[in-house]
Amino acid sequence: MRSSPRVTVWNEYVNERTKPEVAKIYPKGMHEAIAQHLRSEGLAVRTATLDQPEHGLADDVLAETDVLIWLGHTAHDKVKDEIVDKVHRRILNGMGLIPLHSSHHSKIFRKLMGTSGDLKWREADERERIWVVAPGHPIVAGLPPYFEIPAEEMYGEYFDIPAPDKLVLISWFQGGEVFRSGCCFYRGRGKVFYFRPGHETYPTYYQPEVLRVIANAVHWSAPVAGPEIGHAWQAPLEQLQHETTS
C-alpha cells in the first residue's frame, strides 16, 4: 500500500489523430488531459499508447503501475492478446484498473467481466445527469447528489456486466434511458472501476466532477498489501483423525 499510487493512463490514441474535431478538443490526446489533472493532484503519472512497442505496457511498466486507466474505442481488436493476458494477470495480482467509456468493449474489460459488455448507444448531443447511489463510498467524496454533463453520447441498459460489487453512480439521459455508470468490481487482489462518461467529441475529461471521480477511483483501486493468492497443494493445518464422529 502506497500513500500515492503510481498511475499509467493508456489510450489507443486513434481518434485524436484522425478526426480534427477530436484533435481540437484533445490536442495531445485524451490520456494527456486525464494525466495532467492527476499530476496536478500530486500523483506520479505516465502514459502509454497502442502504437508503442508492446502498446507501451512492457513488463517493467506494468510492474511499476499501481493503477491503469484504459481508453479504448475503435481499435480494441488491435490490442494483442498476449498484452491483454499480462494486464489481466497483473490486475488479479493487485493492480487497479479504471476502464473509461467505450472501454466497455475492450478485450481486458470483457475478459475480466466474463460477459459481452454490450449496451444500447446513441450519439445525439444529449444531456446526461449522473446520480450518486452510494453516498458513503470513497469514490463519491466531494460530489453533490448529482452532476450534469451538458452533452454526451448515450449509453443505455441493458449493460451486460455482472452485477457490480458496489454500484456507485446511475446515469439519466435526456432521450429516456438509464445506465449503471459507476461500477466497482473486486477481481482477485485487484479492483476495477468502470466509469461511463467520455465520448471523444465532447470536453468531458475537462469537467471537474468527472476528473474528481477518476482521481477518487485511483485511490480506491490502488493495491493494498493483502495476502498472496495462487493455486497450490496445502498440507493439513490440523491433525487429521480418521475416526467417525460419534
**CB-neighbour burial class of residue 194 (10 A; exposed 0-12, middle 13-18, buried 19+):** buried
Query: Is the CB of 4 or the CB of 229 nearer to its own copies?
Result: 229
Please report whether residue 77 would count as binding its own copies according to CB under 8 A.
Answer: no
Footprint of its own copies on residues 168-207 (CB under 8 A)? 170-178, 180, 185-191
**Binding flag, residue 149, its own copies (CB under 8 A):** no
Contacting its own copies (CB under 8 A), which of 1, 20, 21, 81? 1
The 216-245 contact track toward its own copies, x by CB under 8 A, reads -------xxxxxxxxxxxxxxxxxxxxxxx
Please state, in angstroms and rounded to a whole number, the distance separating the CA atoms of residues 89 and 33.
28
Residue with cell 471521480: 213
Minimum distance from CB of 184 to its own copies (Å)? 10
Answer for which of 35, 79, 119, 149 binds its own copies (CB under 8 A) is 119
Where in 80-109 is the site for its own copies (CB under 8 A)? 92, 94
Measure the CA–CA gap between 100 and 199, rounded to whole angstroms.
9
Which parts of 72-228 are beta strand (E)? 96-99, 120-132, 146-156, 166-173, 178-187, 190-195
Return the axis-axis angle of helices 208-221 and 30-40, rounded to nearest 10°: 70
Determine the interface stretch with its own copies among 14-22, 34-42, 62-70, 157-165 (rule: CB under 8 A). 157-165
Pick 172 or 206: Cβ nearer its own copies: 172
- Does residue 20 belong to the site contacting its own copies (CB under 8 A)? no
What is Dmax (Cα atoms) for the chain? 79
